[in-house]
Amino acid sequence: MKHPPLLSAALLLTCFAAPAPSRASAPALAPTEIVAAAPAADWAAIAPSDLLVMDLAPDARGTARRVVIQLLPAPFSQGWIGNIRALAAAKWWDGTAVNRVQDGYVVQWGDPDGEDKAKAKPLPAGLTKVDAANYAASSSQVRPLVADAIAHEALGTPHPNTPVYVKDAYADTTLFWKGWPIGTDGEKMWPLHCYAAVGVGRDYPPDTGSGAELYTVIGQAPRQLDRNIAVVGRVIEGMENLSSLPRGTGDIGFYKTAEERTPILSIRIGSDVPGLPRYEYLSAESESFARYADARANRRDAFYIRPAGGVDICNVPVPVRRVQ
C-alpha cells in the first residue's frame, strides 16, 4: 500500500518543535500529494481585482515573462495598496524597469531614475501618504483564534485547523489568517517577509514609500524587515522570471548600466487583463491545509528518515493553483 490512511488528529501537532510522533508503517503522503488530493471545497477563489499582473519584456529567446502578484486583504497595508491600484490604473509602471537584483535578498522594480528628483517620473496625483503605524494592524480579529489554538496546544489536543508557530525568532506567535502568514504580539498583527513576499521600497524614515517602488524576496526570509516596511502581497506565479534575473554588480545589487535592466511592459490590476486565468489558494482554515502544514513540519514520506518536529512558517508556502 503506497498511501496510508488519513492522518489522525494526533499528527497535527505543528508547533513547539515537539518530539516527532513515531512513523507509520508505510510512508505518509508528501505535502505536494496532500495538496493534489485536496477536495474542491478546500480551495478559495482569488478575485481578479486582488491581482497585480506584471509583464516584463520577453527574454533573449523571445519568451513572454509574466509575474502574477496577489494583494493582501484588509486590514493590512490598504493605504499602499490603494496607491498601487491608482498607479496601475494610470499605467504609471509601463516603461519602467527591474533595476536591482541582490543575491539572496530582493529583486526591485520601479522608476530607474526615482532617486534623482530632477529626472524622476512624476507620480499620479492623489496618492496617499501612509503612516508607519500601518506596517501592522490591530490583532483583535485574530486574538480569540490564537488564544484558542494555544489553549488546545497546552492541553495536548492541537486545534484541528489553526496551526500556530511559537518557536519563531521574530514574533511571539505566527499563524495563517485568511491565507496569509502573519505575526502577532497580542496587540498587533502584521504580514511576514517570506520568500516571494512583495513589499514597498522606501527612503529613510519617516518616508514609508508610495507603492511605486516594489520588491520581492528571493532568498532567506528577511524577517528583520517586518514592521519596518510595508508588505503588500506575494508573487503567486512567474516568480522565476524575477528570481533568476542576473544579479546587479552595483551597490546593494543595483544594475550599473541601463542595458542590464529588464524593461516592464505593463502592470495592471488582474480584472483589467483579458484572458487572465482564475486562481485559487488552499484555504488555511481547511483540513487539507492543516494536514499539509503538518506534513511540512513532519516529513514522513519515503525520502525522509527523521521528521523535523517543527517548521518555520515561511517554510509553509500557501498552495496556489490555476482553476482548471
Nearer to a copy of itself, 227 or 268 (CB): 227
Residues numbered 290 to 309 that lie near a copy of itself (CB under 8 A) are: 296-297, 299, 302-306, 308-309
CA dist list (Å): 41 to 30, 70, 169: 21, 21, 34
Site for a copy of itself contains 227 (CB under 8 A): yes
b/e 73-96 (16+ beta carbons within 10 angstroms → b): beebbbbbbebbbbbbeeebbeeb
Nearer to a copy of itself, 87 or 297 (CB): 297
Residues 6+ apart with CB under 8 A from 195: 217, 218, 219, 221, 314, 317
Instruction: Tell the residue number behind the cell numbers 528583520, with chain if given.
Output: 224
Closest distance of CB 127 from a copy of itself, Å: 21
Instruction: Give the burial class of 323: count Cβ atoms within 10 A of its Cβ; 0-12 exposed, 13-18 middle, 19 or more buried.
Output: exposed
Site for a copy of itself contains 157 (CB under 8 A): no
Site for a copy of itself contains 25 (CB under 8 A): no
Site for a copy of itself contains 226 (CB under 8 A): yes
Nearer to a copy of itself, 33 or 272 (CB): 33
Select from 20, 123, 132, 273 the one that contacts a copy of itself (CB under 8 A). Answer: 132
Site for a copy of itself contains 13 (CB under 8 A): no
Closest distance of CB 267 from a copy of itself, Å: 21
Site for a copy of itself contains 243 (CB under 8 A): yes
Binding-site residue total for a copy of itself (CB under 8 A)? Answer: 51
Site for a copy of itself contains 244 (CB under 8 A): yes
Q: Is the Cβ–Cβ distance between 102 and 70 less than 8 Å?
A: no
What's phi and psi for 295, nearest 5 deg? Answer: -70, -30
Instruction: Tell the residue number behind the cell numbers 502581497, with chain if given.
Output: 233
Closest distance of CB 169 from a copy of itself, Å: 4
Site for a copy of itself contains 172 (CB under 8 A): yes
Helix, strand, or coil here: 133?
Answer: helix
In this structure, the number of other CB atoms found within 10 A of the CB of residue 283 comes to 20
Nearer to a copy of itself, 87 or 316 (CB): 316
**What's the gap between Cα 164 and its chain centre?**
17
Sheet of 320-322: strands edge to edge? 43-46, 279-282, 320-322
Q: What is the largest CA-CA distance in the chain?
A: 69
Per-residue mark of binding to a copy of itself, 48-77 (x: CB under 8 A): ------------x-----------------
Instruction: Tell the residue number behind the cell numbers 487539507, with chain if given.
Output: 288
Closest distance of CB 121 from a copy of itself, Å: 23
Closest distance of CB 242 from a copy of itself, Å: 10
What's phi and psi for 103, nearest 5 deg? Answer: -55, 135
Nearer to a copy of itself, 74 or 169 (CB): 169
Closest distance of CB 176 from a copy of itself, Å: 15
Q: Which stretch binds a copy of itself (CB under 8 A): 48-56, 114-122, 152-160, 242-250?
A: 242-250
Q: Which three cell numbers stand for residue 131?
A: 503612516
In this structure, the number of other CB atoms found within 10 A of the CB of residue 230 comes to 27
Select from 230, 232, 312, 318 the one that contacts a copy of itself (CB under 8 A). Answer: 312
Q: Is the Cβ–Cβ distance between 164 and 175 less than 8 Å?
A: yes
What is the rounded distance in angstroms from the CA atom of residue 76 to the CA atom of residue 252?
28
Site for a copy of itself contains 170 (CB under 8 A): yes
Chain residues in the site for a copy of itself (CB under 8 A): 17, 60, 101, 103-104, 132, 165, 167-172, 194-196, 204-205, 218-224, 226-228, 239-240, 243-247, 296-297, 299, 302-306, 308-312, 314-315, 317
